[in-house]
Structure 1
């Protein structure tokens, strides 16, 4: 008689990173105009489709010129975007960049952010040859704090009253990941 096996964990849906395409206009419009994420993206006003069309025309510009890279997060089940991951404030001399990630509210808690962050770290390390990436996270953003900690980032400091929110000033936690230290 066959024995019952323990239930297997659900298979994780793999994510992929790809360049922005003109077809991403409506996705970006919805993402950039979500007031719930304005606080973490230093945005105070809606973005027009015209401005986003112009942005998409130049989104593939050279990293060395624009000092930023935005890639779209998609899943293996659907090619529809579920989020974006950004490198910004790219510094070629010191081989570092800031990193940020936004996943659509309806797509959170599926592990997409963690997988996308790992893919971007690998791209930063092996393709861009960066030494480190860093992130600034509002003290009240517990899910992002857990994400960066789980992704191998180290908490390196706190900036007091750094972020202005609707309810007052909030501290910001600085996270750093030395990419070369991860190679083994």
Structure 2
């Protein structure tokens, strides 16, 4: 478990008691512009998700981990590996830090732990992420953690202000900072 822990935080599997916080985060419409969520999640849907969650990345092709503070195990966010492709040895990365905990370098620490786990334990060759062009905080986070800008996809996300392009960023295993 040391692979998923540092001095301040731990990454852990989802637990049934995470239902309320996941419900809050998944239904926060201010976050929807940064991803592909278009409808709210019911409490029952999230309950079923937690009940059936297997943590087998090879079966599910994804892994969601809770970010918790070590002093009290307070959940402060989630990190995700998605679109896991064992043949090509890659996965997408997503991260969410709850609003009250932002600005404390928790995203950086979480990303470093997830990267270490992905490269040292899962032996992935690469991680990638798609970031909306207006999300300067995430662009800075991934850039500061060794991700390279690979390209831009025009008009990828539809928002209330019109279409928004995204940047594709990538980190290869040999580029670990």
| Structure 2 match to 1:36 | 30
How has the CA–CA distance of structure 1 residues 13 and 108 changed in structure 2, closer, same or farther, with 3 Å as cutoff? farther
Larger radius of gyration: 1
Give 1:13 deviation, angstroms: 6.8
Q: Residues 146 and 175 of structure 2 are in contact (CA less than 8 Å); yes or no, is this contact kept in structure 1?
A: no
Cα offset, 1:181, TM superposition: 3.2
- Number of aligned residue pairs: 172
TM-score, normalised to structure 2's length?
Answer: 0.93
Residue 164 of structure 1 corresponds to 158
Check the 8 A contact 1:125/1:180 in 2, yes or no.
no
Partner of 1:175: helix, strand, or coil? strand
SS at match of 1:114: helix
| Distance of 1:23 and 1:110 partners within structure 2 | 25
With over 3 angstroms needed to count, the CA separation of the structure-2 counterparts of 1:111 and 1:13, relative to structure 1, is: farther
* Cα separation, 2, equivalents of 1:61 and 1:69: 6
CA RMSD of aligned residues (A): 1.5
Which of the numbers 122, 147, 150 marks the counterpart of 1:153? 147
In the aligned structure 2, how far is the partner of 1:115 from the partner of 1:138?
22
Give every structure 1 segment of 4 or more consecutive aligned residues whose post-TM-superposition deviation is greater than 2 Å.
180-183
**Stretches of structure 1 lacking an aligned partner (at least 5 in a row):** 1-11
